Amino acid sequence: MILERLQIQQFRNLQSVSLIPAAGLNVMYGINGSGKSSLLEAIHYLGFGRSFRSARHQHVIQHDADSFTVFCKAIDEESTQSAAIGYQRLRNGESIIRVNGEQLNRASDLVKLLPVQIFTPNSAEVIHGAPSLRRRFLDWGLFHVEQSFLTLNARYQQILAHRNALLRKGVLGSEGAYWNESLAVSGEQVDKLRESYLDRLAPYIYANLSHFLPEFSFEISYYSGWDRSKSLADVLNQNMPRDLKYGFTSQGPHKADLRVKADGIIAQEVLSRGQARMLMAALLLSQSQYLLTEKRKGCVFLLDDIGAELDSAKREAFISELLNSSAQIFVTAVEKQHVGFVEDYKDKKMFHVEHGQVKEE
């Protein structure tokens, strides 16, 4: 999908912004606090229904305003069909999402529509942080290539929440067999989709890593969240006494992880921060390439503060590969010189951001 038009109202310091982005590269530059990251944050809302830097929607609404609105017209390059997507968030917590004039009930449905990926100075947290961050990374790709995943995963989460509620009350005993069986059936389906997705994604990841971090030999593997030599049903039944004691389901696909080793050692232990960022860049790029191969869909790719992230050679390699994967890129930089190499790109637009105003050059 490509954003053909973008409109933002009362979003942080962006009072009223309207722009026609390039299909390829869009550079937003301006001094600190001018509104560059807010612009990316607004696009992020269209892809995820949430911010990438604040858990509180209220903080994003412009001071003294009652709501913010983000609107885009996006076009599918393959079918040439367009979609008008609007997201409005009110100060009272209500959100109104419209796609082609029709109201959507769940923000999670937005994820299917617009494939948005983001790379920020904090992206290495996905490598260093909790497994949930890496699961979220994998699941984002799955949402876009496997139609059934969204529903299957939602069902698994629903049954899991129910089993956990019974565990907390200490009343799972009599109903245990039923809930274990339901959770196992649903969990095995989620697990299979994740495993097979990573199998197909891995060749892209290895190819990108050999380009971005040739100094290491990498090994990518998938951990299901339980010992795969046993069925999930057996594990849930065996874990009942422990799960009852602690009040939650200790093993299952909700504990799954994407594991990366560099030269035989877990990546978190051996990579520098910059190298971890490059690993993350390779992972995100791989999803973008895979989505293009599998679904003929390009991503909208947000790169926040790229100058602070990577050295110039790596930055350039990353952006060129992203453009090759038909991604539409929005990159922010404090100084134009930080993205000097974009001189060579033809399909690009430069936007100067100043005091919340965005002007195309």
Ligand X SMILES: Nc1ncnc2c1ncn2[C@@H]1O[C@H](COP(=O)(O)OP(=O)(O)OP(=O)(O)O)[C@@H](O)[C@H]1O
- Is 34 one of the binding residues for ligand X (CB under 6 A)? yes
- State in angstroms the smallest separation of the CB of 321 from ligand X: 25
- Is the Cβ of residue 70 or residue 172 nearer to ligand X in the bound state? 70
- What are residue 194's DSSP bridge partners? none
- Is 33 one of the binding residues for ligand X (CB under 6 A)? yes
* 30 marked as binding residue: yes
Site for ligand X in 284-323 (CB under 6 A): 305
Interacting residue with ligand X among 334, 336, 341, 352 (CB under 6 A)? 334
- Is 37 one of the binding residues for ligand X (CB under 6 A)? yes
**Pairing of β 265-266 and β 257-262:** antiparallel
By CB atoms closer than 10 A (0-12, 13-18, 19+), residue 90 is: middle
Classified as helix, coil or strand, 106 is: coil
- State in angstroms the smallest separation of the CB of 92 from ligand X: 16
CA distances in angstroms from 41 to 127, 133, 304, listed in the order given: 22, 19, 9
* 37 marked as binding residue: yes
Write the DSSP string, 100-152. Answer: TTEEES-THHHHHH--EEEE-TTTTHHHHS-HHHHHHHHHHHHHHH-TTHHHH
C-alpha 219/C-alpha 240 separation (Å) is 34
- State in angstroms the smallest separation of the CB of 118 from ligand X: 13
* Chain-centroid distance, C-alpha 168: 31
- Is 7 one of the binding residues for ligand X (CB under 6 A)? no
- State in angstroms the smallest separation of the CB of 16 from ligand X: 13
* 31 marked as binding residue: yes
Orientation angle between helical segments 312-324 and 273-295, nearest 10 degrees? 10
Structure-block tokens of residue 293:
């191969």
Ramachandran sector of residue 149 (left: φ over 0; alpha: ψ -120 to 50; beta: rest)? alpha
- Is 357 one of the binding residues for ligand X (CB under 6 A)? no
Segment contacting ligand X by CB under 6 A, of 57-65, 105-113, 217-225, 234-242: 57-65
Helix, strand, coil abundance in the chain, percent, nearest 5:
45, 25, 30
* 225 marked as binding residue: no
Interacting residue with ligand X among 2, 8, 27, 38 (CB under 6 A)? 38
- Is the Cβ of residue 40 or residue 104 nearer to ligand X in the bound state? 40
- State in angstroms the smallest separation of the CB of 301 from ligand X: 17
The one-character DSSP state at 112 is H
Classified as helix, coil or strand, 97 is: strand
Residues binding ligand X: number (CB under 6 A): 16
- Is 32 one of the binding residues for ligand X (CB under 6 A)? yes
- Is 51 one of the binding residues for ligand X (CB under 6 A)? no
* 182 marked as binding residue: no
Interacting residue with ligand X among 8, 24, 36, 184 (CB under 6 A)? 36
The one-character DSSP state at 249 is -
| Residue ranges binding ligand X (CB under 6 A) | 12-13, 30, 32-38, 59, 61-63, 305, 334
Q: Which residues are annotated as a binding site for ATP?
A: 30-37
